[in-house]
Each structure stands twice: as structure tokens, then as C-alpha cells.
Amino acid sequence: MIRIVLFLVALLCAVPQLGFSQDGVSSELNAFLITTNQNGAEVSTEVTEVSPGDLIEYRLTYQNNLPSGITQLTPVLPVPSGTEYQEGTASPELYRASISNQGDDFQSLPLMREVTLPSGEVESQEVPAEEYRRLQWVVSSLDAGESVTLSARVRVLEND
């Protein structure tokens, strides 16, 4: 079976807030394989490697280590290459998303794009969630000593 190394290092490089403390706010990113046991209940197991077809849940935890609260924290979770975001799995609900791997081009959901039809007419169409490359939340406030965990699931694509 072909194994694919998770993109945790790439995620940590892509989003400087992840994996360390900056200005009194620390963060940690963990990846979990989501499976179902014989009773049909979901089981999550922390992983560092995945296989094509696996369902992975990323959990991003922010801890406020400052002596006072903070407001308007806007965490971003990149969707690694070779995976697809699974619509409706973000918790809490997503604020915005992007189909780009860089820049600040986040849009409110659902993402829309203009498509030129064969007739030449331009139509606005919803972008499938599988095409999202970055996810963004807004944490309106985080009191001193408080933490928040954000999560989203991706499916590892089959090898071509």
C-alpha cells in the first residue's frame, strides 16, 4: 500500500501561527484518521501518515496565554495538496474560504465564480467545496487562559 506523509510540516510553514507561541497566543495542529468501529461509532486516531481514501480531521487549537482577552482571531487552515475539503465538516462553522493557496482572497460562503457558457452568456456558479484550498474562521473573543479548537475534514485523493 502506498503511504503518503501528511503535510503537517508544509502546513506549519504555510501558516506561521501554527505550532508555536506568537505574541502570547500558542497554537497546535494535529491530524486524526477518522474510521468507524464495528458498532458504527466514529473513532479518531492521531496520525502522521495517511493512505489514499483516508478521511483526516485536522484539529487546530489556539491557547490565549496573555493576561487579558483577545478579539477577532482569524485562523487559517490550508487544505493540503492531494486532499479535498469535505463540505460541512468544519467546526465551528467556517467564516470564509479561498480557492487560492496564497494571498488574502477569502470570500464568504458559498464561494461563487463567473463561468462563460457556450452561448457566451456569463453565469455565476457555486464553487464545489472540494476545490477550497484554505479555510478561515473568526474567533470573536478568547479570554485570558482560554483555548478554542477548530476542526475540518479532508479526504486523501487516490493516486492517479
Number of domains in the chain: 1
Q: CATH no. for residue 69?
A: 2.60.40
Residue 120 domain-assigned (yes or no):
no
Q: Does 126 reside within a domain?
A: no
Q: Please say if the pLDDT value at position 97 is more than 50.
A: yes
| Secondary structure in 3-state letters for 99-155 | CCCCCCCCEECCCEEEEECCCCCEEEEECCHHHCCEEECCEEEECCCCEEEEEEEEE
Within a domain: 54: yes
Domain contains 72: yes
Structural domain contains residue 30: yes
Taking only the tens place, the pLDDT of each residue in 43-68 is: 999 999 999 999 999 999 999 999 99
Residue carrying C-alpha cell 485536522: 58
- Is residue 24 predicted with pLDDT exceeding 50? yes
- For 82, the domain range is 4-95+134-156
pTM over 0.85, yes/no = no
